[in-house]
Chains A and B, each alone.
Chain A
Amino acid sequence: MKIKGKKIADISVMIAGKAGDGVLFTGNVLAKILKRQGWWVSTYRDFPSNIRGEPTNYTIRASLEKIYGQADDIDVFMAFDCGAIIDHADKIVKGGIFLCDGLGLAHVAPSRIDGRTYHIFPLRKLARENFQSELYKNMIALGALSHILDLDFRVIEGIISETFLKRKGKKIVRKNIRAVRLGCQQAKKMIEQEEIHPLVEKKDSGRLLLSGNEAIAMGSLAAGCRYFAAYPICPATEIWQWLAVVLPEYNGLVIQTEDELAALNMALGASYAGARAMTSTSGPGASLMMEAFSLAGMAEIPVVVAHVQRVGPSTGMPTKTEQSDLDQWVYGSHGEFPRIVLSPGTIEECFEFTVKAFNLAEKYQCPVILLTEQDYGQNLRTVKKFDLTKVKIDRGKLLNQEELEGIKDYRRYKFTPDGISPRALPGMKNGLHMVESNEHDQNGYRDEDSENRIRMMQKRMRKLENAAKDLIPPRVWGDRESEFGIIGFGSTFGPIQEAIAQLKDRKIRAKYMQIRTLWPFPRKKVEEFLDSCKEVFVVENNFTGQLGQLIRSQVQMPIRIKNILKYSSQAFRPQEISSQIQMAVR
């Protein structure tokens, strides 16, 4: 919890229970309320890969400043069962408040331990007695939270009627509002004034509450993607669940394929024929896509793959987060071919980079990977509305009929100085060509001549040599003059930013380089950064330090970097980074 003056500036509420208890639903409603009261919101879901029964928790963090991840501590804890106490008691901050549905527990008096207050709050009992159904425990819990956080009741009512009116009708809306009021009244009776954590900001500032997956879906729509083929896989499926509803209205097509082999190959087919096409997947699906990935490289077909990383290897932990598939796309598949791997770190970047990915794919006629993570793929954060006027569509050297007819001897894979050949679509007059997975000559006909092979390899690999101007450069944050550097990609963005602030409080100045294009590797910029630091820490959510290894293999100078690694299936908390750096530099 952060307090500025007498006001709370940053607060985290954890809701915990068993999968199927309605933890997600209650959390989402709370996140919406906080958003609408003008707070920056960031959620964090920790849920099992089954549908019912196992422990799950959902943290909703609200701040007066923009936030990009979870905080170190929990301030308010609402538990649907007592098992959650054991799992999370250590995360609750001093001065924090803990409400738990006692189930069988008899004692009602609150107890104070180590400056934390524990209350038994009989959610199910209240629900059964007042509404004849345990389902209402969620709304009663929300009511209790509304008292602790001093939420605006009109906002709550508004959101409840939005949620239930259309599907369930007026009666259910009224019943749910009554349940919230009941929870609020009970909490008032039980909780003392000093225990509550009132929020101050109360006005809607028109932001959006989005997950990275939704932002990618929106980005693809804005970028003119009209063909989306994919196969169900956690944690990437939300991307096309969003598009499945929306894309048909824009004359687009969303196809659920029979497997990931089909998904990427169908997208390649659609792209070859002229559509902007995309697929999405995660670890095991990406493994199945590797063959088509190589085909896209050889045949020079533009395509975008959104890969939302989960915990591997194999099935791993499908609903948890990791950064262990960097190597898969940077080095993956057979043979050598150009590819671009982008790594957004925020929800805004998910949107922007998706638009960029389509342009890069068509400009450089190669596969482009959007490498994200379960963490910000599935969790919600508030963002400002996207600026659609900034969306520019660049289809590269795609020829129109008139241009094509002006070309005397059209060759699909023509040797050009920049390696990029003019692209015609099948069926265009004067543009007959073959798109070939075998090594081919400039016309696309199969050619096993060594000299042609050498020239063709050089042509393809040349495409990205001068791409740096178009790629998304790394960004440097923090104190540029400091000698301690941190490098990271993807979801570590938020925690590293906050770690830098924590270090500043401890009189350690540090700066941070966010790598946003993983491949082609931004060698020069990284070398400059390394050169300006005495000590560099590479923060990654994996075991082997894949980014660290990539840096070592790419920079042409002697370097010493230390890895800060986490592979527990959870995203970093700021403290985990700042404390390790503090220990290392002192």
Chain B
Amino acid sequence: MSQDKKKKKMRLSLPEEELMNPGHVGCQGCGATLAMRYTLKALGQKVVLCIPACCWSVIDGPFPYSSLDVPIFHCAFETAAVSASGVKAGLEMVGDTETTVVAWAGDGGTFDIGIQALSGVAERNDDILYICYDNEAYMNTGIQRSSATPYGAWTTTTPVKHFKNRPKKDIDAIMAAHRIPYIATASVGYPEDLFKKAKKAKDIKGTRFLHIYAPCPVGWKSRSEDTIKLSRMVVQNATFPLYEIEWGEKYTLNIKLKEKKPIEDYLRLQGRFRHLTEKEIAYMQEEVDRKWERLLATVEGCQ
């Protein structure tokens, strides 16, 4: 009896309605599927998704596992942003000005092959919501590095012997340089924050860019059950801070850290970092610290 009472008192922070159905064909512990689920809760059903080649282009695929209750346009690999831009213009021409057109791409389709189209759209400030779910490599084709792969990580094309020795591309800074109305980073470990940002982005006109951190147990060689843990740790150790940028200038930090955790525990949960020596980890820690201090200074400068 008392348990029932407790249940009643619990308040749902996300809407109950699901636009993503269970039974999809993603892997166990897939962060990208969580990203989609939370995002669609925020955007509602008046949405068209443009999805280029990426994990999601197979996750949403075959009947009866096809799992989304919104229209989808599978576009060519390098064209998520421009395809969405075309769809938005077309909808407006037939009198639909309400539908949110979303380009939904992975990190390869955003940071690498899709960046030219994305930059074009952002410069024109076309009215689309671009969402990149970032699992830090080409997972769908079998774990090849992308320019979102962090320093030190193993992938099949950055083997342990020659692991990646360049930092992750700072896509958010690149997008900020385009001075678009809204940029935000989010993590599947913070669903309420992600939900809030997607909802906010929905109501803004112009190019909006949402960058969602989405762990991939298969590609990271992490345990499926650690997905949420990793996507919270990455925020708490400041490797992937959660913040918003408005018009390329106004920075707001959304999750403030009382105590910034060291990155080592985070790295140790992932097989892709297993080969790293203490020296390399120390270097990575320095880099995280430096970038974090700079972000704090930028945020402070905006206040």
Interface residues of A (CB under 8 A from B): 20, 48-54, 231-234, 237, 240-241, 244-245, 248, 254, 256-260, 284, 288, 314-315, 318
Contact = CB atoms under 8 A, between A and B. Distances in A.
A485 to B, nearest CB: 40
B157 A259 contact: no
Interface stretch (B107-115, B200-208, B242-250): B107-115
Q: Which 4 A-B pairs have the closest CB atoms?
A: A50-B58, A259-B113, A258-B112, A232-B144
Interface in B124-176: 138-142, 144-145, 147, 156-159, 161-162
Contacts of A231: 112-113
Given A54-B25, A256-B145, A258-B115, A248 B162 contact: yes
Nearest to A20: B27
B142 A237 contact: yes
Interface stretch (B73-81, B89-97, B232-240, B286-294): B73-81
Contact of A315 (B55, B57, B138): B57
Given A49-B58, A51-B27, A244 B162 contact: yes
Contacts of B57: 315
A52 B140 CA distance: 11
Interface residues of B, number: 36
B74 A52 contact: no
A244 B59 contact: no
Nearest to A288: B78
Given A244-B159, A256-B144, 9 more contacts: A53-B65, A244-B157, A244-B162, A245-B162, A257-B112, A258-B113, A259-B77, A260-B113, A284-B77
Nearest to A256: B157
Interface string B183-213: 0000000000000000000000000000000
Contact of A284 (B25, B76, B139, B142): B76
B282 to A, nearest CB: 25
Given A237-B142, A237-B144, A245-B159, A51 B76 contact: no
B140 A51 contact: yes
Given A54-B25, A256-B144, A232 B157 contact: yes
Contacts of A257: 112
Nearest to B112: A258
B62 A232 contact: no
Contact of B141 (A234, A245, A260): A234
A48 B27 CA distance: 14
A254 B113 contact: no
Contacts of B58: 48-51
A241 B156 CA distance: 6
Contacts of A233: 141
7 contacts: A231-B113, A232-B108, A232-B142, A241-B144, A256-B144, A257-B112, A318-B141
Nearest to B25: A53
A487 to B, nearest CB: 34
A245 B161 CA distance: 7
A259 B74 contact: no
Contacts of A234: 141-142
Contact of B62 (A54, A254, A314): A54
Contacts of A48: 58
A250 to B, nearest CB: 13
B218 interface: yes
Nearest to B113: A259
A337 B278 CA distance: 55
Main SS class of interface, B: loop
Contacts of A284: 53, 76-77
Given A54-B25, A244-B158, A258-B113, A232 B61 contact: no
B23 to A, nearest CB: 10
A382 B232 CA distance: 48
A284 B75 CA distance: 12
A327 to B, nearest CB: 19
Contacts of B53: 284, 315
Contacts of B62: 54
A232 B141 contact: yes
A275 to B, nearest CB: 19
A254 B162 CA distance: 11
A52 B218 CA distance: 10
A346 to B, nearest CB: 25
Point out which of A232, A233, A244, A260 has the most chain B C-beta atoms below 10 A from its C-beta: A232
B241 to A, nearest CB: 25
Contacts of B156: 237, 241, 244
A48 B28 CA distance: 17
Contacts of B111: 258
A51 B27 CA distance: 7
A241 B157 contact: yes
Nearest to A18: B25
Contacts of A258: 111-113, 115, 147
Contacts of A50: 25, 58-59, 61, 140
Nearest to A51: B27
A259 B141 CA distance: 14
B78 A314 contact: no
A240 B157 contact: yes
A133 to B, nearest CB: 14
Nearest to B57: A315
Contacts of B25: 50, 52-54
Interface in B8-42: 25-28
Contact of A232 (B59, B138, B159): B138
B42 to A, nearest CB: 26
A259 B53 CA distance: 13
Nearest to B111: A258
Contacts of B59: 50
Contacts of B108: 232
A254 B157 CA distance: 9
A62 to B, nearest CB: 27
Nearest to B62: A54
A118 B62 CA distance: 30
A296 to B, nearest CB: 21
Contacts of A245: 159, 161-162
A315 B54 CA distance: 11
A50 B53 CA distance: 11
A386 to B, nearest CB: 23
Contacts of A53: 25, 65
A52 B162 CA distance: 28
B143 to A, nearest CB: 9
Given A232-B108, A258-B112, A258-B113, A315 B74 contact: yes
A52 B53 CA distance: 17
B20 to A, nearest CB: 16
A49 B156 CA distance: 18
Nearest to B52: A315
A248 B108 CA distance: 24
A240 B159 CA distance: 11
Point out which of A233, A244, A254, A288 has the most chain B C-beta atoms below 10 A from its C-beta: A244
Nearest to A240: B157
B237 to A, nearest CB: 27
Contacts of B74: 315
A314 B53 CA distance: 11
Contacts of B159: 244-245
A314 B79 CA distance: 13
A315 B26 CA distance: 19
Contacts of B28: 52
A237 B140 CA distance: 12
A539 to B, nearest CB: 30
Contacts of A232: 108, 138, 141-142, 144, 157
